[in-house]
């Protein structure tokens, strides 16, 4: 068994909000890990359902290292930032509070990471694998090769690989690329951070399913903020500014839709045309926004009509 006083190889991070009914599934899958050099860091984003009491039963007789932190509710992105600040492991692996992983998940991740030439490892942020449903069916697409080195943006825009994937990042990398936090905003699109990491680092992708995705949870960590137009406008804006210049040719439809959705959701936040234009700090992004402005207006008016019809 590893030295409990030493820094672990992995920090397995779980952000949770009112998931006392599903957290035991995460705990059970971690208790079965064949690779034991890890800590489980639980950041509770304001749960009121007995999560603290549940975790305390595990802390009383721990099967592995567990740390628990409770914070005021702020959304998963704020819980992530807290976890990144507190992590003691060298490698940071996020495992959702309603999912699980295979018993060999950490061992496989460790072995694949160690297989990367140490002289090249500085260019890599981590290792990423496939996700499967409980019945074993793979979620989304497989990678082009069983061992494939690329970055997550190229995977999406160049190779058109879709569906959930799961992996870890070096702790020093995620500390460079924290989630932005805005007053009153309880959801920030994860693609913002993944795109920024992809602009600097590669990942090693493996065609092995190590993560088990469940669909039975009825409470989302970010709650109703998923319907807030502000994060949707922000996500579209940063996609245009930070990704379009490099990847538009590979997937023009994606970026044209992002441009339309930027104006559409900006109008829903009562941000007019002049203010929208001022927000965009990239020439390519600005050109795409202007091109799709009429479409964004039509979509916005449709949203208003639907909202009025349902009220």
Does the pLDDT of residue 222 top 80, yes or no?
no
Rounded-to-integer distance, Cα 253 and Cα 251, Å: 6
Beta-strand relationship, 202-212 and 124-132 = parallel
Q: What integer pLDDT is reported at residue 264 of this predicted model?
A: 96
The reported pTM is 0.90
Structure tokens at 217: 């949870």
Dihedral sign for Cα atoms in the order 241, 242, 245, 248: negative
Where does 10-212 sit in CATH, by number? 3.90.550.10
- What is the residue-averaged pLDDT of the chain? 93
Mean pLDDT, rounded, for 234-249: 94
Share of the chain above pLDDT 70, in %: 95
Tens-digit pLDDT profile for residues 89-129: 999 999 999 999 999 999 999 999 999 999 999 999 999 99
Does the pLDDT of residue 58 top 50, yes or no?
yes
Q: What integer pLDDT is reported at residue 4 of this predicted model?
A: 54
- Domain spans, the chain: 10-212, 228-310
CB neighbour list of residue 282: distance below 8 Å, 6 or more residues apart: 240, 241, 242, 244, 245
Q: What integer pLDDT is reported at residue 1 of this predicted model?
A: 43
């Amino acid at each position: 068994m590893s030295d409990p006083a030493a820094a672990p190889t992995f920090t397995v991070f779980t952000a949770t909000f009112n998931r006392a009914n599903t957290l035991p599934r995460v705990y059970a899958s971690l208790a079965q890990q064949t690779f034991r050099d890890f800590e489980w860091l639980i950041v509770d984003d304001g749960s009121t359902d007995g999560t603290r009491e549940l975790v305390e039963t595990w802390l009383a007789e721990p099967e592995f290292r567990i740390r628990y932190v409770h914070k005021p509710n702020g959304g998963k992105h704020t819980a992530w930032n807290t976890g990144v600040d507190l992590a003691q492991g060298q490698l940071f692996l996020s495992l959702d509070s309603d999912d699980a992983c295979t018993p060999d998940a950490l061992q496989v991740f460790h072995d694949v990471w160690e297989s990367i030439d140490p002289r090249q490892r500085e260019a890599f942020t981590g290792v990423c694998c496939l996700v499967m449903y409980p019945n074993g069916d793979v979620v989304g697409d497989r990678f082009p090769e069983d061992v494939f080195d690329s970055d997550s943006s190229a995977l999406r825009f160049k190779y058109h690989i879709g569906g959930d994937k799961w992996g870890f990042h070096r702790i020093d990398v995620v500390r460079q690329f924290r989630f932005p936090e805005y007053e009153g905003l309880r959801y920030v699109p994860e693609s913002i951070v993944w795109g920024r990491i992809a602009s600097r680092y590669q990942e090693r992708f493996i065609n092995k399913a190590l993560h088990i995705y469940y669909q039975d949870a009825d409470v989302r960590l970010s709650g109703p903020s998923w319907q807030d137009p502000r994060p949707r406008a922000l996500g579209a804006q940063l996609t245009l500014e930070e990704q379009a210049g490099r990847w538009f040719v590979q997937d023009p439809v994606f970026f044209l839709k992002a441009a339309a959705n930027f104006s559409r959701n900006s109008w829903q936040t009562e941000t007019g045309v002049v203010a929208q234009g001022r927000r965009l700090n990239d020439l390519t992004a600005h050109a795409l926004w202007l091109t799709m402005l009429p479409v964004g207006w039509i979509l916005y008016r449709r949203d208003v009509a639907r909202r009025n019809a349902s009220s």
